[in-house]
Amino acid sequence: MIALGTRPETIKMAPVIRALQKYGQPFSLVHSGQHYDYNLSIRFIEELNLPRPDHNLRFRESLPAAQTGRMMMGLEKIVKRERPKLMLIQGDTNTMLASALTAFKQNVPVGHVEAGLRSYDWRMPEEHNRRMVDHASKYLFAPTLGAKENLEREKIWGKVFVTGNTVIDAVAQHLPIAEKKSDVMGRINFREYILATAHRAENVDDPRVLRNFVEVFMEAPLPVVFPVHPRTAKRLRQYNLWKKLASSKTVQLLPPMGYFDFLILMKNCELMLTDSGGLQEEATAPPIRKFVLVLRLSTERPEAVEAGFAKVVGVDKKKILRALRDSVENPPNLQKSSPFGNGKAGEKITKVVMGELG
């Protein structure tokens, strides 16, 4: 059984799903409803040419504890009815926590794709989720040796396999589709641009930090293209920053982007400014290869920093602008390979699963 509930999980599990299909391994697919516009979620799954979910939980809880509880109640009925040999999950969302705990309570082994990531920043709910999921998992698919070492330090009881990260597979599989389907570059006002994103609660819910970001985007050495997350848009208006940003001639605000459009924006930008974890990985994929300035105090993807693809610059305006100017004036020479694997993670995970299940 594969559980997913958000776009990033769908993207990162797509290579595993395709590999399971390729090798004829039966599976069922559960959509948790965490990103609860179900029709949009299904349309996205179909765009990636993935099978429709066998089960879907539809609810409108938004508070984290209630959301997790609702998912567990729904998942428990499905797990009891199907009795899967394995619950396969990815990442660190509430969907993953609910799926892992439900399976664990029903004596169904858990397999965690992207295990062992650690930011050591306890303000992030994802850090709590990923640690609990790792300790409940029987099979842990670590994307890197560093992630494996994190698990060993914590004396995880499950079996650890270093597989690479499925996001590298996903970029390689989906970019050719994006290049055929996306027309987003026809809507971009600038030939050269910085691609920016910001959505983390610890950043955008803090008016001081969000104001710093707005001023950085407006004073950046290159124009900035900024797809605005719904949470961020709400806070920009709440803190009276939206009009200021929208009036800038060097910042282009965009609505939230679809996956294919965003891949094209990444491929064509000069560099990225982001507080996203997944973008730090995608930037290292050979078809993308872009430098990233991380708008956070820490990262659970240190491999991107060590390989020279990323630099953690914090949330201080002066430090970010200094790093931006340096990156534009002295572009780093990026290596051709990704520290997150060779794009075969989905195959490796599937072969392990099939071997362990006999």
pLDDT-derived band at 61, boundaries 50, 70, 90? low
CB contact at 8 A, 6 and 29: no
- Mean pLDDT within 120-133: 91
- Please give the full DSSP string across 232-254, using - where no structure is assigned: HHHHHHHTT-HHHHHT-TTEEEE
CA distance 2 to 265: 30
pLDDT-derived band at 63, boundaries 50, 70, 90? confident
Query: Which class in CATH covers the domain with range 184-329?
Result: alpha beta
Kindly state the percentage of the chain with pLDDT values over 70: 98
Check residue 302 and give its pLDDT: 95
Cross-strand partners of 141? 113, 161
- Mean pLDDT within 129-157: 97
Check residue 40 and give its pLDDT: 62
Backbone angles phi and psi of 254, in degrees to 5: -125, 155
CB contact at 8 A, 170 and 12: yes
Mean pLDDT of the chain, nearest integer? 94
Check residue 42 and give its pLDDT: 77
pLDDT in tens, 147-184: 999 999 999 999 999 999 999 999 999 999 999 999 99
pLDDT-derived band at 121, boundaries 50, 70, 90? confident
The verdict on whether 199 is a catalytic residue reads yes
Domain ranges of the chain: 2-164+343-357, 184-329
Amino acid at 298: S
pLDDT in tens, 300-342: 999 999 999 999 999 999 999 999 999 999 999 999 999 999 9
pLDDT in tens, 198-256: 999 899 999 999 999 999 999 999 999 999 998 999 999 999 999 999 999 999 999 98
pLDDT(37) > 80: no
Cross-strand partners of 224? 194, 251
CA distance 166 to 169: 5
- Residue 274: in which H helix or E strand, if any? strand 271-274
Superfamily of domain 2-164+343-357: Glycogen Phosphorylase B; (3.40.50.2000)
Least confident of 33-42, 139-148, 209-218, 274-283: 33-42
Is pTM beyond 0.85? Reply is yes
What the block records as the tokens of 50 is 């993935």
Q: Which of 31, 55, 174, 199 is catalytic?
A: 199
CA distance 285 to 42: 26
pLDDT-derived band at 39, boundaries 50, 70, 90? low
Q: Lay out the sheet containing 110-113: strands in order across.
A: 55-56, 29-31, 2-4, 87-90, 110-113, 139-142, 159-162
